[in-house]
């Protein structure tokens, strides 16, 4: 009886335990499928639904006629989830060869970051190459579409357009200053992924990607190529340290060309250096020298104290201010105002400056834009130095009149000559295409600017700028040769050759400034180095712009003048 009772007790215990387990499992099934169904489905979705970004297309940069200067092309970026990749996978050999990386380094990276879920394999790959890698079907390898910036004109427009970084953000030039305008808005979408991280289905669009806005620059790519070719040639021919050329439309203030040497190729940055990246036309300052004489002459004519028939005695060809001596290249004697400009007489213009006073000249310089920003919004622009002493010393007035004691950039010098060229109106400078005629401010009278242009015509026809004469067109301008400034002041054997001018001189369309740094091949005067560049560039540019040739040379000064 005892044995039978014990067996019955054991049976009941096992049966109760069995029923309890079955009951618990049954309840759990009900709980999972009925009570917690919505919660569990949500948690499952969280683990399989992901938000994916949609890259935005960066805006196009073009020249004034729609020629592309910066475009974004679709590329593929390859990435990996190291936790899903077997570092011993034999297919990694082929992948490393396609990606152009060391196989050992690739396997080591996958082992090193095995606890991570994301590493870049290669960014900005050509779509065809990315497809070859993905065709290997290596678990844990993924690709996504991005955009890469390409610059069709390369080094020709590099200093103006600039470039972007790996993430399509502006780093230099227009790309940087107009980054917000050019950048699009990144979008996003919900996608369903499997347990290997592969997209199975696009579920919904959260926010569509908005492309960046296009930007039309004022540059004329034809003139840009022309200017770059000639500047590069003269720098090479004269073994110069570098150079700058700026070309403006005198009636709109638009920058038609802006080039520098040395340059760089934004599509290949392996040789990139800080010195090559500077847009020297706006970032580098220099004392302009003799090209400021026509501006100082305009200030004198505006006072009414001087007229074209006025004469100045420049004998004996020099002036002394204490220990400082101003010299001409010869004793020109008693000359008129036109001869002072044509022969680049320091003595003549300095006597006029001492008569009218430094404030008169300085005020005109300021009205023309010197000592202040040009307003084009270019990164790194230098405004220069325009002195304003409480009391002018005679030597300061003298040096100011022929371009020493102040500093400016090439674009500011071109802006000053633009006012002389268009009849006295200062228009705001623009690196963007101007859609409607800008409102300008009158700085000088038409009479004064016409008289100064006649002087500049003479400087090219018979003066220091004779080598600046373009074929088939009349022109006017002024040469300059200034000492470069080094660590210990002026460098005796280092010069900047400058020419600033306009054409056609009877009805100017374009102003061009050429500056060549430290020519080393013998010639170094502005009339020898910079003026011939002006001649070639302006002749070809006016033909490209369909300006009717009309060569009219006149002159009253027949003897050779001094070097400006």
**Judgement on whether residues 239 and 143 belong to the same structural domain of the protein:** no
**Judgement on whether residues 495 and 355 belong to the same structural domain of the protein:** yes
Residue 556 dihedral angles phi and psi, to the nearest 5°:
-120, -10
- Has residue 108 been placed in a domain? no
Q: What is the mean pLDDT of residues 32-46?
A: 58
pLDDT for residue 118: 84
Would you place residue 559 in the very low, low, confident or very high pLDDT band (cuts 50, 70, 90)?
A: very low
Digit-coded pLDDT (tens) for 299-312: 999 999 999 999 99
- Between 231 and 197, residue with greater pLDDT: 231
Digit-coded pLDDT (tens) for 152-191: 999 999 999 999 988 888 999 999 999 999 987 765 556 5
Would you place residue 556 in the very low, low, confident or very high pLDDT band (cuts 50, 70, 90)?
A: very low
**Judgement on whether residues 79 and 92 belong to the same structural domain of the protein:** yes
**Judgement on whether residues 212 and 229 belong to the same structural domain of the protein:** no
Q: How many residues does the chain have?
A: 564
Q: What is the mean pLDDT of residues 47-71?
A: 82
- Has residue 141 been placed in a domain? yes
- Between 111 and 184, residue with greater pLDDT: 111
> Which CATH number do you get for residue 535?
3.40.710.10
**Judgement on whether residues 379 and 460 belong to the same structural domain of the protein:** yes
Give yes or no for residue 296 having a pLDDT over 60.
Answer: yes
**Judgement on whether residues 225 and 211 belong to the same structural domain of the protein:** no
**Judgement on whether residues 179 and 301 belong to the same structural domain of the protein:** no
Domain of residue 488 covers 221-265+272-544
Q: Rounded distance, CA 220 to CA 322, Å?
A: 50
pLDDT for residue 187: 58
User: Pick the catalytic residue: 96, 177, 183, 290?
Assistant: 290
Give yes or no for residue 82 having a pLDDT over 90.
Answer: no
Largest CA distance in the chain: 153
Give which of 358, 366, 363, 362 is closest to 393, Cα–Cα: 358
**Judgement on whether residues 281 and 203 belong to the same structural domain of the protein:** no
Residue 497 dihedral angles phi and psi, to the nearest 5°:
-90, 125
- Between 193 and 529, residue with greater pLDDT: 529
Q: By mean pLDDT, which of 106-115, 247-256, 413-422, 539-548 is the weakest?
A: 106-115
pLDDT for residue 332: 94
For the full predicted model, state whether its pTM sits above 0.75: yes
What does DSSP assign to residue 549? Answer: P
pLDDT for residue 205: 56
**Judgement on whether residues 377 and 451 belong to the same structural domain of the protein:** yes
- Has residue 535 been placed in a domain? yes
* Pair 370, 376: CB distance under 8 Å: no
Digit-coded pLDDT (tens) for 398-453: 999 999 999 999 999 999 999 999 999 999 999 999 999 889 999 999 999 999 99
pLDDT for residue 203: 54
The two three-digit tokens of residue 107, written as one number: 């396997």
Q: By mean pLDDT, which of 266-270, 354-358, 418-422, 427-431 is the weakest?
A: 266-270
* Pair 161, 216: CB distance under 8 Å: no
> Facing residues of 353 across strands?
none
**Judgement on whether residues 138 and 241 belong to the same structural domain of the protein:** no
Active site residue 290: yes
> Which CATH number do you get for residue 154?
3.90.1310.10
Strand blocks (E) in 61-159 = 61-62, 68-80, 119-125, 141-150
**Judgement on whether residues 228 and 165 belong to the same structural domain of the protein:** no
- Has residue 6 been placed in a domain? no
**Judgement on whether residues 178 and 255 belong to the same structural domain of the protein:** no
Q: How big is the CA angle at 439 (ends 245 and 254), to the nearest 5 degrees?
A: 20
- Between 43 and 427, residue with greater pLDDT: 427
- Has residue 162 been placed in a domain? yes
Digit-coded pLDDT (tens) for 489-518: 677 778 999 999 999 999 999 999 999 999
Coil, helix or strand for 99?
helix
- Has residue 29 been placed in a domain? no
Residue 492 dihedral angles phi and psi, to the nearest 5°:
-60, -35
Mean pLDDT of the chain: 87
Q: What percent of the chain has pLDDT over 90?
A: 61
pLDDT for residue 37: 62
Q: Rounded distance, CA 470 to CA 504, Å?
A: 9
Give which of 412, 397, 320 is closest to 366, Cα–Cα: 412
Would you place residue 131 in the very low, low, confident or very high pLDDT band (cuts 50, 70, 90)?
A: confident
- Has residue 168 been placed in a domain? yes
* Pair 500, 453: CB distance under 8 Å: no
Domain total in the chain = 2
Residue 21 dihedral angles phi and psi, to the nearest 5°:
-60, -45
Give yes or no for residue 81 having a pLDDT over 90.
Answer: no
Give yes or no for residue 150 having a pLDDT over 70.
Answer: yes
- Has residue 167 been placed in a domain? yes
Q: What is the mean pLDDT of residues 92-112?
A: 88
Q: What is the mean pLDDT of residues 462-475?
A: 93
pLDDT for residue 133: 87
């Amino acid at each position: 009886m005892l044995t039978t009772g014990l067996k019955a007790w054991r049976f009941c215990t096992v049966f109760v335990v069995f029923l309890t387990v079955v009951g618990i499992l049954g309840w759990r099934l009900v709980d999972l499928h009925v009570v917690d169904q919505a919660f569990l489905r949500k948690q499952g979705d969280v683990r399989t639904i992901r938000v994916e970004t949609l890259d935005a297309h960066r805006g196009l940069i073009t020249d004034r006629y729609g020629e592309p200067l910066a475009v974004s092309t679709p590329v593929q970026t390859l990435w990996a989830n190291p936790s899903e990749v077997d570092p011993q996978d034999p297919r990694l050999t082929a992948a490393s060869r396609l990606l152009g990386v060391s196989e050992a380094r690739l396997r080591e990276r996958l082992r090193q970051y095995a606890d991570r879920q994301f590493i870049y394999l290669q960014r900005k790959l050509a779509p065809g190459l990315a497809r070859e890698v993905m065709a290997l079907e290596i678990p844990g390898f993924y690709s996504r579409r991005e955009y890469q910036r390409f610059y069709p004109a390369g080094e020709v427009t590099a200093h103006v357009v600039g470039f972007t970084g790996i993430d399509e953000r502006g780093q230099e030039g227009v790309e940087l200053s107009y980054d917000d305008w050019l950048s699009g808005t990144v979008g996003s979408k919900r996608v369903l992924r499997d347990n290997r991280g592969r997209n199975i289905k696009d579920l919904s669009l959260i926010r569509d990607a908005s492309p960046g806005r296009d930007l039309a620059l004022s540059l004329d790519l034809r003139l840009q190529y022309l200017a770059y070719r000639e500047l590069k040639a003269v720098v090479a021919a004269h073994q110069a340290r570098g150079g700058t050329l700026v070309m403006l439309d005198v009636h709109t203030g638009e920058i038609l060309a802006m080039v520098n040497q040395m340059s760089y190729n934004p599509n290949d940055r392996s040789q990139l250096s800080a010195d090559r990246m500077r847009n020297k036309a706006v970032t580098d300052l220099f004392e302009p020298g003799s090209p400021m004489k026509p501006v100082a002459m305009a200030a004198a004519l505006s006072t009414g104290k001087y007229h074209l028939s006025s004469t100045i005695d420049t004998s004996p060809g020099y002036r002394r201010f204490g220990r400082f001596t101003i010299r001409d290249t010869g004793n020109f004697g008693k000359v008129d105002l036109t001869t002072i400009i044509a022969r680049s007489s320091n003595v003549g213009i300095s006597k006029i400056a001492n008569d009218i006073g430094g404030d008169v000249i300085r005020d005109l310089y300021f009205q023309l834009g010197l000592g202040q920003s040009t307003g084009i919004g270019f990164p790194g622009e230098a405004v220069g130095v325009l002195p304003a002493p409480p009391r002018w010393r005679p030597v300061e007035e003298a040096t100011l009149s022929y371009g020493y004691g102040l500093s400016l950039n090439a674009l500011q010098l071109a802006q000053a000559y633009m006012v002389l060229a268009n009849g006295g109106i200062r228009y705001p400078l623009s690196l963007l295409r101007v859609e409607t005629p800008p409102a300008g401010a009158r700085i000088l009278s038409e009479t004064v600017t016409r008289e100064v242009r006649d002087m500049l015509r003479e400087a090219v026809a018979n003066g220091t700028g004779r080598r600046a004469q373009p074929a088939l067109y009349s022109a006017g301008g002024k040469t300059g040769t200034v000492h470069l400034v080094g660590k210990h002041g002026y460098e005796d054997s280092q010069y900047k050759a400058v020419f600033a001018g306009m054409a056609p001189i009877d009805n100017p369309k374009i102003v061009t400034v050429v500056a060549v740094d430290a020519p080393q091949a013998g010639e170094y005067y502005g009339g020898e180095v910079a003026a011939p560049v002006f001649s070639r560039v302006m002749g070809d540019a006016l033909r490209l712009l369909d300006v009717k040739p009309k060569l009219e040379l006149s002159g009253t000064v027949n003897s050779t003048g001094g070097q400006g």
